[in-house]
Structure 1
């Protein structure tokens, strides 16, 4: 006998085909993950005002990166570790870079910050991102051990007691004023810093600003060596980006209020791009491959639907 046909079986087949198609579109069109260094820092204060900072930097990605910029607000050299400019940042889970700094601030301690920029090279893109982190207090530094004397202290030779002289009572002098202790340096809470990313692909040079919610509005002017300048305005809590068509020799100079680093940034050609021909700007959205993949997966869903409608094999006596 033939089992009764269920209307839900047809709906299930249609839904399965549509789900497969949409899943394919999502897989092809999903954005790339963000690359970023992950810096952190702690510091301690000694009784004499000496500040010792310990910095650590790890990697967010599964490939090695290169430290391209390393700037600290502590005006001393990095020591006692492998964190340095041009150092290799190990892939995620394979280790971190560390270093320390020590300095005695004459006046009030400024904010203690570290700015790290790292560079990742993948076959189809080159990503450079900069992040700034503030060190957090970790209490009082441990006191250094007092060195023991090298030779025993000689025994003092007893001397004859002098003849006591008559004592005179003098008026007690007034008590000197109590001296105020030297204030211990204190850290100030730094404002949140925006995060900047530069990405070179085969056809674009893209600048991205991620502004934290407690930051200030960022107005960035980007001036290429060929073509018109572009302005990127990013309000607190928002992320914005500006792209330039990739051409050989493209150089873009950033400028913004309070921006110290205005070094021009050049487009770099990733390894998988065609090295024989210059990159050409795209004139339309790159949706052709996405549409073809979605249609193919929807067709697979239609085949499943047709198979679901086939009759079952019936045996007769």
Structure 2
């Protein structure tokens, strides 16, 4: 008696081959995640006007990073292991920390307490540099430093009170008039400044890319990027949007950014990632993922799935007594 195979097995075989092939392509062609440091901060304010701020910085990625820049809106120095050149452990590892102590001239007016941290990640196919800015949140009221008491108190001299003469009617002063009530000056309403955009610089084997993420409560950013080789480009990013500009990677390429309110206008150089190999003739490095190899592997896997399908269609002979 001849028993054909169940049609459901044929469908399962074809589906398995397709899933394997597509899954392999997705694994190799998936885009990289957004690299960024993860800073946070808390502060407390003592009654004597002393402000104490604690900063901590984590990592968004599963590889370590190097701290390339640290700046605070407070003038006091940072103390701790959070500094330029420090190694930021991979995601979930120990966070870098720092402390700031600042004395306010007027405890009623809190200054702007923000920290900006820039970090750099080096992967085989790309080098990413990105910064993040964070504002410290209030954690409570610090205890004021105790004032030392004197070792030996100075006795207070006793003054003999003189008798007060009784005024005669001619010397009695008239009652002072009640002063007019002053109108309090209205307190000006503080205006919240717009949120700052986030900039990313990424060097790949074939491009130097500048990306700006503008928050929804920010303002329009207009940045001019001038390379030392080639023409300048303008990047305009409206609030709530993200934009990027890329330059072809060549040896010695530097790009200078310029925008309103941008303090750092130093040229930024393209850096060649580790796995970029020079092609014959000293041209541009081979870039990106080998799509031909990926496509060939996917075809082989899909062919294997088709083979499973053909095997499933074969009929088997069974002899019964």
TM-score normalized by structure 1?
A: 0.82
1:20-75 per-position Cα deviation (integer Å, ceiling 9, x unaligned): 22212211210012211111112223334443222111112233222111111112
- Counterpart CA distance in 2 for 1:124 and 1:279 is 18
Query: Which of 267, 272, 277 is matched with 2:275 structurally?
Result: 272
Matches within 5 A, 1:177-216: 189-216=192-219
1:272-306 per-position Cα deviation (integer Å, ceiling 9, x unaligned): 33379756167999632332222122112112212
- Counterpart CA distance in 2 for 1:88 and 1:187 is 39
Q: How far has the Cα of 1:105 moved from its partner?
A: 4.9
- Counterpart CA distance in 1 for 2:234 and 2:164 is 90
Contact 2:66 2:121 in 1 (8 A): yes
For the aligned residues, what is the CA RMSD?
A: 3.6
Q: 1:262 to 1:88 in 2, by over 3 A?
A: same
- Counterpart CA distance in 2 for 1:77 and 1:153 is 39
- Counterpart CA distance in 2 for 1:22 and 1:303 is 17
1:316 aligns with 2:320: yes
Corresponding residue for residue 289 of structure 1: 293
Q: How far has the Cα of 1:165 moved from its partner?
A: 5.9
Which secondary structure does the structure 2 equivalent of 1:205 belong to? strand
- Counterpart CA distance in 2 for 1:231 and 1:46 is 47
Q: 1:172 to 1:290 in 2, by over 3 A?
A: farther
Q: How far has the Cα of 1:161 moved from its partner?
A: 6.0
Q: 1:44 to 1:24 in 2, by over 3 A?
A: same
1:83 aligns with 2:79: no
Q: Which runs of 5+ in 2 are unaligned?
A: none
- Counterpart CA distance in 2 for 1:165 and 1:292 is 112
- The number of equivalent residue pairs is 313
Q: 1:132 to 1:156 in 2, by over 3 A?
A: closer
TM-score normalized by structure 2?
A: 0.81
Q: How far has the Cα of 1:209 moved from its partner?
A: 1.7
Q: How far has the Cα of 1:241 moved from its partner?
A: 2.2
Q: Which runs of 5+ in 1 are unaligned?
A: none
